[in-house]
Amino acid sequence: MSQFPVVDGELIVGGMPLSRLAARVGQTPFYAYDRNLLTRRVSDLRTALPAGIELHYAMKANPMPAVVAHMARLVDGIDVASAGELKVALDAGADPADVSFAGPGKRDVELQQAVASGVLVNLESLREVDVLAQASAKLGLPARVAVRVNPDFELKGSGMKMGGGPKQFGVDVEVVPTLMARIAAAGLAFEGFHLFAGSQNLRADSICEAQAKSYELALRLAEGAPGLVRFLNLGGGFGIPYFPGEQRLDLVPIGENLSIIQARAAKDMPQASIVIELGRYFVGEAGVYVARVVDRKVSRGQVFLVADGGLHHHLAASGNFGQVVRKNYPVTIGNKAASAKRETASVVGPLCTPLDLLADRMDLPAADVGDLVVVFQSGAYGASASPQNFLGHPACVEVLV
Ligand SMILES: *Cc1c(COP(=O)(O)O)cnc(C)c1O
C-alpha cells in the first residue's frame, strides 16, 4: 500500500534512509511529508481529470506552513476554514483571488479579515451577509461571496457526511433564495456556489452522483442568483485506502463525469470555473508518523512495543478520530522493513490510557528498543488533529523532505 521504497532493508522517506532522517530531525516522534509524492499526486490528478478543472487544497487536512507553501505553488487555490488558516495561506504566498473561506462559525472579526484580504467567503448563514455588509461598507470593498448550499441529498458511502439533512454547514437549499436576495440588497459581490457533500469516499459512482446532483442544483439556483456564476465548487471527498481490502479510488469515471459537467457548464454558465476541493487525497499518502520503541514488554504471551509517540500526536491512527470500529493503520518497523524475522506485536504509546494504541496485534518485523515504528497514510489529519497536550509528553516535530 505504501508509496515509500525500501532499500537495503530500510524505508526511504524524502530520498533518505529513515534512520538517517531521524538523526537529521534530531528527535522522535516526528511526521515526515515527502515533497515529491505531493508533487506527483497533484500532477497525476491533473492527468486523470479534464483540463480546466480547478484543484483547490483544503488545508485543514495538513496546515503545516511548508506543506501549504508547497501546495500553493501546485494547485489553483487554497480553501481555509479559519482566520488562522487564512494567515498561513497568505504567508505561504497564496493569491487571495484564489483563496476561499468556509466554516460554520465565522466570527465577525474573521469575516472582516476575509474582506480586507480580498478572499472569497463561502456564506453559511444570513447573519454572515449582514456582518459582511458592514465590513464592506467600513473598508470600501465589496465582500466576495459564494453561497455554501446544504443540499437535499447525501454523499453515499462517505466516511463523514457534511451535507444533506439537518446540518450546521451551509444554508439549506430551501433558504438559498432568501439569502441571495439579501446578498443583492447588501451589494456584495456574488461569485457562485459551494457544495460539499462529505469526505473519505472510495466509491467513484457515489462521487459522480453527488457531483452531477450538485451541478443540477447549482443550475437551478443560478436562475435566481444576484449575478453571474463565476465559481462553482462541486466539493471533493476523494478518499484514500487505509485498511486491508480497501480499493484505491478509480479516477477514470470521475474524469469522464467531470468532462460531461464541464461541457454542460460551457453552455449553461460559461463564466464559471469548476472547482474540486481536496484535503486528504492530496496529502494523506505522502506522510508518515515515526516513533521510537522505548520498551518491549511481554504480557501473558502478548508482545507490546511501547513507543515514545501515540494517540497524543496521531489521534486518527489510534482509532479515536471519528471511527466507529477501530482498525489498524498500515504500520511497519521502518529500519527493519524487509526483515524476515516477524512476530505478532501491539504498538502502544506512552499514555496511561488503553486508547493509546497504534497497532493492535499486527504481524510486524520483530522489533526491539531503539527501532523506529512507522505509521503510513499519516499526511492528513495527523499532528494538527491530535491532543498534543494530553498527558504532558513532548510535542512532535513535522518536516517536509
Ligand atoms: C474538511 C473539508 C474538506 C477536505 O476534506 P478531505 O476529506 O480532507 O478531502 C474540503 N472541503 C470542506 C468544506 C471541508 O470542510
**Cα 371 to ligand 1 centre (Å):** 35
Give the three cell numbers for residue 251.
Answer: 479516477
**Cα 279 to ligand 1 centre (Å):** 6
> What's the pLDDT score for residue 324?
87
**Cα 282 to ligand 1 centre (Å):** 11
Domain covering 63-278, topology: TIM Barrel (3.20.20)
pLDDT surpassing 90 at residue 59:
yes
* CATH 3.20.20.10 domain span(s) along the chain: 63-278
As a whole number, mean pLDDT of residues 273-288 equals 98
> What's the pLDDT score for residue 65?
98
pLDDT in tens, 186-197: 999 999 999 998
- Atom 2, ligand 1: residue with shortest CA distance: 58
200 lines ligand 1 (CB under 6 A): yes
As a whole number, mean pLDDT of residues 167-194 equals 96
Q: Helix, strand or coil for residue 69?
A: helix
The mean-pLDDT minimum among 23-27, 147-151, 165-169 falls in: 165-169
282 lines ligand 1 (CB under 6 A): no
> What's the pLDDT score for residue 1?
55
pLDDT surpassing 80 at residue 55:
yes
State which of 168, 206, 278, 377 you would mutate to test the pocket of ligand 1, scoring each by most atoms of that ligand within 8 A of its C-beta.
278
As a whole number, mean pLDDT of residues 211-232 equals 96
101 burial type by CB count under 10 A (0-12 exposed, 13-18 middle, 19+ buried): buried
pLDDT in tens, 37-51: 999 999 999 999 999
196 lines ligand 1 (CB under 6 A): yes
236 lines ligand 1 (CB under 6 A): yes
102 lines ligand 1 (CB under 6 A): yes
Q: How far is CA 95 from CA 68, 76, 117, 118, in A?
A: 12, 9, 10, 9
Ligand 1 atom nearest the C-alpha of 281 is: 9
pLDDT surpassing 70 at residue 232:
yes
273 lines ligand 1 (CB under 6 A): no
As a whole number, mean pLDDT of residues 293-299 equals 98
* CATH 2.40.37.10 domain span(s) along the chain: 6-32+285-400
On average, the pLDDT of the chain sits at 96
Per-residue confidence band for 154, with pLDDT thresholds at 50, 70 and 90: confident
pLDDT surpassing 90 at residue 164:
no
CATH number for region 6-32+285-400: 2.40.37.10
From first CA to last CA, the distance across the chain in angstroms is 20
pLDDT in tens, 238-267: 999 999 999 999 999 999 999 999 999 999
Say how far apart CA 135 and CA 114 lie, in whole Å. 9
61 lines ligand 1 (CB under 6 A): yes
Ligand 1 atom nearest the C-alpha of 196 is: 13
pLDDT in tens, 352-367: 999 999 999 999 999 9
> What's the pLDDT score for residue 11?
98
Query: H helices of 75-146, where?
Result: 83-91, 108-117, 126-139
State which of 45, 60, 200 you would mutate to test the pocket of ligand 1, scoring each by most atoms of that ligand within 8 A of its C-beta.
60
Does the reported pTM lie above 0.95?
yes
pLDDT surpassing 60 at residue 126:
yes
As a whole number, mean pLDDT of residues 97-125 equals 98
pLDDT surpassing 70 at residue 349:
yes
- Top-confidence residue, 155 or 210: 210
